[in-house]
Amino acid sequence: MDRFSSLFADYAKNVSFEKISSKVIHEVKRRIIDSVGVAVAAYSEQTPEIARKMGYDFRLSNGATVIGTPVKTTPGLAAFINGLHVRYLDFSDTYLSLEPIHPSDVIMPLLALAEYNKNNGKDLVTSIATAYEAAVSLCDSGSLRKNGWDHVNFIAIGVVLGASKLLNMNVQNTKNAIALTIVPHAAMRQTRAGELSMWKGAAAANASKNAIFSSLLAEKGFTGPNRPFEGEMGFNKLLLKDSIHMEGLKTISEKRPPERIMDTHIKFWPVEYHAQSAVEAAINLKENLNVEKIEELTIDTFDVSYEILAKDPEKWQPKTRETADHSLPYITLTALLDGKVTKESFSKERLNDKKTMNFLKNNVKLNSCKDLSRLYPDGIPNRIIVRTKDGKVFSEEVCYPKGHAKNPMTDSEVEEKFRSNVKNMIDKNRIDEVLNILWNIEKLENFKSLFNLLLME
């Protein structure tokens, strides 16, 4: 008996579309819209293009669609490819707790499985809400990061539970799917250490691919390792050091309808979430500054932000976009100089700008401050201080940036983000049609019309 496997499997079996509140259903739609938008925005980038080529090599006539193309492939490979598109620009949503994650990493993999399995829109909404509940609750129950493991291990568990809804799995098969996912596929935190590679944006997609594969295997009766959480060499022992907190799993243990998606945050800027408030503060400061007169930039941040976004020396002279969008000093300086942050902020041309890099090396300071650390994870406080050449000092602090659960984006702002992300890839009429479908996705019988509207090849 493994109480955690049983807890999650029993919870998933108990969820139904009819039990989910209208506000949660609406929020799921907002996250699908956001995820489709950032996936389309990444379409022309090199890393997603490489991944799509894998789909072309493994075509399956009755499979799942590779986003933007007429090609279908296995549901696991589609989960990887489409999930990578969502994560690549680091513009998808976030949850912060003992462990930070990007919970929308579950959306494209579950959409791939739903298409393959011929589920409808209600099934998809139910699976996504269930997956969010598990992944977010796990972040409240323990920290993978501090033990050297990656947060995508929690994403994989969320995808399994979402998949169990789509496949209408019984409790025993769901427990096997959990075991087949977490025991063979533990992901290490090295993905996010030092100079970051293409794999940074692919790790969650890979975890989801493994979860989809394991779920399909378990549905057919394949059994998984015994006691995957509580065994002597299981998930809790090795990845969490026996530190899992039951309090964090309260909504799961009490079998409440999914609601934790309401606690998560949508990104307003395409950077790692802990830097969102720094971008907002820097842009606010720029309104009253002549950037040519800036002598020194000081960034006061909190401990977790420092550890993830500033500790490594590579973050102070980033050479890849993956490192740059996880560099608090680079992100803040760019926002201050340009008054914005876009995907072009991480282009090779921008990273090779000698003036910016010299200023970053010689004129930017960063402090990890106890007063700010105390405010995390309720908020993500960053304080920006600028000293000009004539001795003037300007300061701005932001704790709850636009998109935070305590400062949420409106539906209009979510739509505007979507339109901005897809405008260079899809014409206006199709944009309107896609939005109409996604705002009414629970009414879809299948997803053919959606993927047809997203064709870019």
For residue 288, what is the domain's CATH number? 3.30.1330.120
28-37 exposure pattern, b = at least 16 Cβ within 10 A, e = fewer: bbbbbbbbbb
Distance CA 126, CA 131 (A): 9
Place of tokens 């949508």: 266
- Check whether residue 393 and residue 433 sit in a common domain: no
pLDDT number for residue 454:
98
Residue 162 Cα to chain centre, angstroms = 16
pLDDT digits (tens, 9 = 90+) for 105-123: 999 999 999 999 999 999 9
pLDDT of residue 62 exceeding 80, the answer is: yes
Position 407 in a domain: no
- Check whether residue 186 and residue 330 sit in a common domain: no
Q: Where are the beta strands (DSSP E) in 256-325?
A: 294-301
- Check whether residue 313 and residue 375 sit in a common domain: yes
Residue type present at position 253: S
Q: Which of 398, 418, 445 is the last residue of a domain?
A: 398
Alpha helices in 142-292 (DSSP H): 152-166, 171-182, 203-219, 235-238, 250-253, 276-286
- Check whether residue 17 and residue 93 sit in a common domain: yes
Position 406 in a domain: no
Q: How many Å from the N-terminal Cα to the C-terminal Cα in the chain?
A: 50
- Check whether residue 371 and residue 439 sit in a common domain: no
Q: Which of 378, 398, 418 is the last residue of a domain?
A: 398
pLDDT digits (tens, 9 = 90+) for 198-256: 999 999 999 999 999 999 999 999 999 999 999 999 999 999 999 898 999 999 999 99
- Check whether residue 434 and residue 300 sit in a common domain: no
pTM: 0.96
- Check whether residue 56 and residue 180 sit in a common domain: yes
Position 408 in a domain: no
What is the CB neighbour count within 10 angstroms for residue 138?
27
Distance CA 403, CA 419 (A): 17
Distance CA 315, CA 309 (A): 7
pLDDT number for residue 298:
98
- Check whether residue 237 and residue 277 sit in a common domain: no
Position 250 in a domain: yes
Position 10 in a domain: yes
Mean pLDDT confidence for 273-302:
96
Mean pLDDT confidence for 161-174:
98
- Check whether residue 277 and residue 264 sit in a common domain: no
Mean pLDDT (the chain) is 97
Are 24 and 132 in contact, with CB atoms under 8 Å apart? no
Residue 251's domain comprises 3-268+427-453
Q: What is the CATH number of the domain that holds 148?
A: 1.10.4100.10
- Check whether residue 85 and residue 15 sit in a common domain: yes
Distance CA 216, CA 79 (A): 13
Residue type present at position 295: E
pLDDT number for residue 288:
86
Q: Provide the domain count of the chain.
A: 2
- Check whether residue 204 and residue 181 sit in a common domain: yes
Position 414 in a domain: no
pLDDT band at 1 (very low <50, low <70, confident <90, very high): confident
- Check whether residue 211 and residue 327 sit in a common domain: no
Contacts 24+ apart (CB under 8 A), 25-28: 25/125, 25/129, 25/442, 27/261, 27/262, 28/125, 28/128, 28/129, 28/132, 28/261
pLDDT of residue 157 exceeding 90, the answer is: yes
pLDDT number for residue 457:
77
Which residues lie below 8 Å from residue 447, measured CB to CB, with a gap of 6+? 65, 111, 114, 115, 121, 124
pLDDT number for residue 432:
98
